[in-house]
Amino acid sequence: MDSIVHYHTCPCCGGKNISAVLSVKDYTVSQDTFQVFECADCTVRFTQDISDEANIGKYYQSENYISHSDTNEGIINKLYHYVRSITLRNKYKIICTQTKKTTGSLLDIGAGTGAFANFMKSAKWTVTGLEPDNTARTVAYNKFQLELKSPPELFNFPENSFDAITLWHVLEHVHNLDGYMDIFGKLLKTGGKLFIAVPNYTSYDASFYKEYWAAYDVPRHLYHFSPTSIKLLANKHNLNVTAIKPMWYDSFYISMISEQYKNGKGNLFSAFFVGLISNFKTLSNPEKCSSLIYVMSKK
């Protein structure tokens, strides 16, 4: 039987001023509905009554969960792969710019099927990848000959091991939030950088689609971050947010899936329009993008 995690205090800041704000359906696997709560103190949102770490895996068992299956079926997944080829280069440029290195040691947490880890390895970085899903690790090995490690290895690395640590849409999945955030500062070398990409529920597309916003992705997404909550979380763990970078394509990709959830069918025109408005609002406020990359360094 599953052990259910029910939060009585905020999992991000520990505050007690929490309340339900949305009911969101799991469209990917279970079709169950989950309550999303918000903390009035740090503004993070989180999914209530989730399965514990040992039992959450059943909610990832779907051919539609692309980060594990690497499926190329359907127009949305085809677009995902096309855009991924562009974003891999963008991530590489951000890492080199922020670390001031063209090669170095990199830890990729939640490596999925290994596309990013392989890209960085091809660019002469020394890459270590962690991935909890057996299927994804198998795909990474068969496709890229990458031997990804399991997540508990995170706590076995020596201190000051990495020039860069990356989590691309991973932190929102991590049960042991404080444990992970604590270890990052220890693993970074002097001058090293932590890169955390997460969806942003304060974006226009999130406010437009509300409970149908695909990036809530309950119950796999345990937390739903705002820029304010990320900055407070970083400070709590002796990290500084030194830069915030928009992920421009995410607003379109998330809107396409959200259209399906909201209307029962895709509407590329409507999704493109919502994504365009979301990105337009980001021009005046970079913290309003659908997804954001937070660059952090240790204090």
Mean pLDDT of the chain: 93
3-state secondary structure of 86: helix
pLDDT tens digits, 122-169: 999 999 999 999 989 999 999 999 999 999 999 999 999 999 999 999
Give the 3-state secondary structure of 130-151.
ECCCHHHHHHHHHHHCCCCECH
- Could you tell me where the beta strands, DSSP code E, fall in the chain? 4-5, 18-25, 33-39, 45-47, 50-51, 105-109, 126-130, 162-168, 188-199, 223-224, 239-246, 291-298
Per the structure, the count of domains in the chain is 1
d(CA 204, CA 282): 9
d(CA 41, CA 15): 6
Residue 157 lies in domain: 4-298
Model confidence at 265, pLDDT cuts 50, 70, 90, reads: confident
Least confident of 68-77, 235-244, 278-287: 68-77
3-state secondary structure of 195: strand
Res 41 pLDDT > 90: yes
N- to C-terminal Cα separation, the chain: 42
Break the chain down into helix, strand, coil percent, rounded to 5: 45, 25, 35
d(CA 230, CA 120): 26
Q: How far is CA 215 from CA 63, 178, 200, in A?
A: 18, 22, 8
pLDDT tens digits, 203-246: 999 999 999 999 999 999 999 999 999 999 999 999 999 999 99
The tokens 């919502």 sit on which residue?
Answer: 274
User: How many C-beta atoms surround the C-beta of residue 247 within 10 A?
Assistant: 23
The letter for the amino acid at 189 is K
Model confidence at 72, pLDDT cuts 50, 70, 90, reads: low
pLDDT tens digits, 6-21: 999 999 999 999 999 9
Specify the CATH number for the domain of residue 261.
Answer: 3.40.50.150
Tell me the average pLDDT across 94-104: 98
70 contact partners, CB below 8 Å, separation of at least 6: 112, 113, 115, 136, 139, 143
pLDDT computed for residue 42 by the predictor:
98
3-state secondary structure of 13: coil
pLDDT computed for residue 84 by the predictor:
72
pLDDT computed for residue 69 by the predictor:
45
pLDDT computed for residue 1 by the predictor:
55
**What is the DSSP code (8-state) at residue 272?**
H
pLDDT computed for residue 78 by the predictor:
61
Least confident of 1-10, 47-56, 190-199: 1-10
